Amino acid sequence: MALSAIALRTYAVNSIYDQLPVKATEVIYEGSAIGMTAGYARALVAADKFGGFSMENVTGTAASGGILVTVRVRGYISLAITDAAVTDWGAAVYASDDGTFTLDPTSNTLIGKLVHWISTGYGIVAFNTAITTL
Amino acid sequence: MALSARTPRTYEVDSIYDQLPVKASAVIYEGAAIGMASGYARGLIGTDLFAGFAAESITGTSADGGVYVTVRRKGYIKLTVGVAAVTDWGVGVYATADGSFTLTASTNPLVGKIVHWWATGIVTVAFNSANTTL
């Protein structure tokens, strides 16, 4: 509805962390790429929406949302990326599961982009879930 | 490979600066828009990927990657941009060279967007190389 008076808003702290509800019985390891499926977090499965990287080990309860997982939602992370070469600076990086990263977009999940090449197959990836899921 | 145990990751400090390998013989001046060509930095040319602004002057050695240039990869910068008008708030800003900026996309790399208009052709541009090349 269009405003007809002041509307005091609630702004969230601009944190690099968030806590997301975990899908029922899902096993998530620290360092796992997080996938979001129907609003719940799990170890990423290709084509999920990217929810960040897990900061802890968590196992989901019998019901979805019974527990929360702390995730890092943006930053720069060192990753092994299949075949990444110096010429791939700026390339989009995708996850095919919670621990596998690739430059191949096919059916995979966009997580960020290569902003610093370290050596063949290794680089720094800039990620920000607020952008990659837009 | 999908994770089967906790995998602590290495996160980089969320720095506004990075150091990128310089293309052979490239002459880069402080303040230059940096372009990435096959993974190496140079004064931006045409369709390069935008990587930030040089924080120092530097000249490449005879081989690619012989020296590194410090770049500012995100922030707000005051630029002269073509004929930017007050009505151009929020529009994309592109580089045609390391010191020339325009509102014309064509084949030019995206640098950022106008977030403050000062006078005709003088604006503040928000930039983040981690976003603009996605």
Sheet with A17-21: strands ordered across? A17-21, A68-72, A49-54, A33-37, A40-43
Q: How many helices (H) and strands (E) does chain B have?
A: 1, 13
The answer for B25, left when phi > 0, alpha when psi is -120 to 50, beta otherwise, is left
- What is residue A67's predicted lDDT score, i.e. its pLDDT? 97
Q: How many helices (H) and strands (E) does chain A have?
A: 1, 12
- Where along chain A do its domains lie? 16-73, 75-132
- DSSP SS3 for B131: helix
Name which of B1, B4, B10, B12 to mutate to probe chain A: the one with the most chain A Cβ atoms within 10 A of its Cβ: B12
- Quote the mean pLDDT of chain A: 94
- What is residue B61's predicted lDDT score, i.e. its pLDDT? 98
Give the tens place of pLDDT for each residue, B76-111: 999 999 899 999 999 999 999 999 999 999 999 999
The mean pLDDT value for A87-92 works out to: 95
pLDDT-derived band at B15, boundaries 50, 70, 90: confident
Cβ burial of A102 (10 Å; 0-12, 13-18, 19+) is middle
Answer yes or no: is pLDDT of A133 > 80.
Answer: no
Percent of the residues in chain A that have a pLDDT greater than 70, as a whole number: 99
pTM score, two decimals?
0.88
Q: Which residues of chain B does A99 touch, with a Cβ-Cβ cutoff of 8 Å?
A: 1-3, 7
Answer yes or no: is pLDDT of A37 > 80.
Answer: yes
- Please tell me which of the candidates B4, B8, B14 has its beta carbon nearest to residue A76: B14
pLDDT-derived band at B46, boundaries 50, 70, 90: confident
Answer yes or no: is pLDDT of A129 > 80.
Answer: yes
Q: Which residues of chain A does B3 touch, with a Cβ-Cβ cutoff of 8 Å?
A: 29, 31-32, 43, 98-99
**Cβ within 8 Å, pair A86-B20:** no
Give the tens place of pLDDT for each residue, A61-84: 999 999 999 999 999 999 999 999
CA distance B122 to chain A (A): 28
Report chain B's terminal Cα–Cα distance, integer Å. Answer: 25
